Amino acid sequence: MGPLKGIKVIEFSALGPGPFCGMVLADLGAEVIVIDRLESAGQKSKTDIASRGKKSIAIDLKKKESINLIKDIVKDADVVIEGLRPGKMEKLEMGPSDFFKVNPKLIYGRMTGWGQFGLHASDPGHDINYIALTGALSSIGIKNSPPTPPLNLVGDFGGGGMLLAMGICAALVEVAKSGKGQVIDSAMTDGSALLMSMMYGFYSAGIWIDRRESNLLDGAAHFYGCYECKDGKYVSVGSIEPQFYEELIKRLELDREKFKDQMDRSRWSELKKIMEKKFMERTRDEWCKVMEGGDICFAPVLSLEESINYKHNKERETFIDIDGVIQPAPAPRFSNTPGKIQHSPVEKGKHTREIIKSIGKENLIEELLKSKIIAEG
C-alpha cells in the first residue's frame, strides 16, 4: 500500500504546511504519528483533512519525562517534521543534535516561513508575508490595484509542505546510500521563489515586465485569462500556441484579420475588450458546448461544489467521500503502489497506549496517565 510503506514519520502538531506534508506522506503509505498537545486529547474533527491517515499520541512537551518518551519514539523513526520558530525545538532538547544522538539516520524536516537563519528568521508571519518577499505576490493581480493573495497555495502548500515532502523523499534515497541522516531547512520564502523560476528566467531574458497584468501569463494577454459570461459565471482561456489561438478565434466567430497579430502587446487591451463583449453573449455552459472538444485550451471556471460533481473529476475520482467528508484523493497516482487514505482523522491521543507499548513502556502507562504526562483520546 503506497510507495512509502514501511517509512515511519513523527510529526509535531502544527497548522498548515507541516500537517499537509505529513498528509501527503501518509497518503503514500507512510506511518505518520502526530505528537499532539496533552490538552487536545479526545478532540476530533473529521473535516480536518490534513489529519487523515495519521496516528496520534497526546503528550505534555513541558515535562522532562515526555521528552525522554519522544526520544524513545524517534529511535526507530525515519523522519521528523516540525514547524516551530528557529531555536524552539533546541530549547525543548528535541533539536536535530538531540535526536541524532539516538538516531543518526534520522531525517529532520524543519518547516518555517522565513527559514532557520536570515534577517526575518525569528519573526512571525503567514503565507502572504513569505510570498511577498519573493516577487510572487507582486506578480499576481490586476494592474493599478493591490496584489491578489492566491489563497495560501503558493507559500504554505506549494512552496512549503509539498516541497518539504519532496525533500524528505530525496533524503530517504540519500540516507539509504550513506546511512547518515540530515536536516532539511524548508523555508516558504525559498519555496515560493523556486516556484517563480520561469518568471525570473523571462525577466532576465527581457521578456517579462515587472508589473502586474502586463505579461503573457498574468492576465494581460487576451488569449490567456478568464472571462465573465452572460450568467455571471466564468470561463478560462489559455490559447497560447498559434494553432490553439486560431481555433479560439474561429469558435468565437471573430474577425481573423483584426486578431492576426497575437503577440502584439500593444493591442492586447483592445482585443481583450472585444472578447469580453463576445463572452457576455452566452452563458458559461453555452460556451462550453461551443468550445469543449476543440483544440483551444478552454475550461469552465468551477466553484468548489461544481468541481466535486464535474464529469471529468467524477471519472478520475479526483474527489472521494471519507466518512461523509468530500475531499481530494491522494495524488499523484502510482501504477504499482497506489496511495490510499488509511483512515479518517482520529481523536487526538487515540493511539497513545499503542505507541507507548511500542517503545517497551507498557508497564508505565497508568503512571504516565495519572501524572498527566500523556493522555488518551
Residues recognised as catalytic: 126, 156
The pairing of strands 298-300 and 234-238 is antiparallel
Tell me what percent of the chain is helix, strand and coil, each rounded to the nearest 5.
40, 15, 45
Closest C-alpha among 218, 248, 235, 245 to residue 280: 235
Cell matching residue 134: 519573493
- CA 48, distance to chain mean position in Å, is 15
Question: Which helix or strand (DSSP H or E) is residue 167 part of?
Answer: helix 162-178
- Residue 84 half-sphere exposure toward CB, CA atoms < 13 A: 15
Is there a contact between 138 and 211 (Cβ–Cβ < 8 Å)? no
Closest C-alpha among 283, 271, 373 to residue 41: 373
CB under 8 Å, gap of 24 or more: what pairs does 209-213 form?
210/138, 211/143, 212/138, 212/139, 212/140, 212/141, 212/142, 212/143, 212/145, 212/147, 213/141, 213/142, 213/143
Helices 162-178 and 17-27: crossing angle in degrees, nearest 10, is 60
What CA–CA distance (Å, rounded) separates 12 from 55? 12
Cell matching residue 307: 468541481
Closest C-alpha among 229, 224, 258 to residue 241: 224
In whole angstroms, how large is the CA radius of gyration of the chain?
A: 25
- Which of helix, strand or coil describes residue 205? coil
Q: Would you mind telling me the total number of residues written for the chain in this entry?
A: 377
Is there a contact between 62 and 38 (Cβ–Cβ < 8 Å)? no
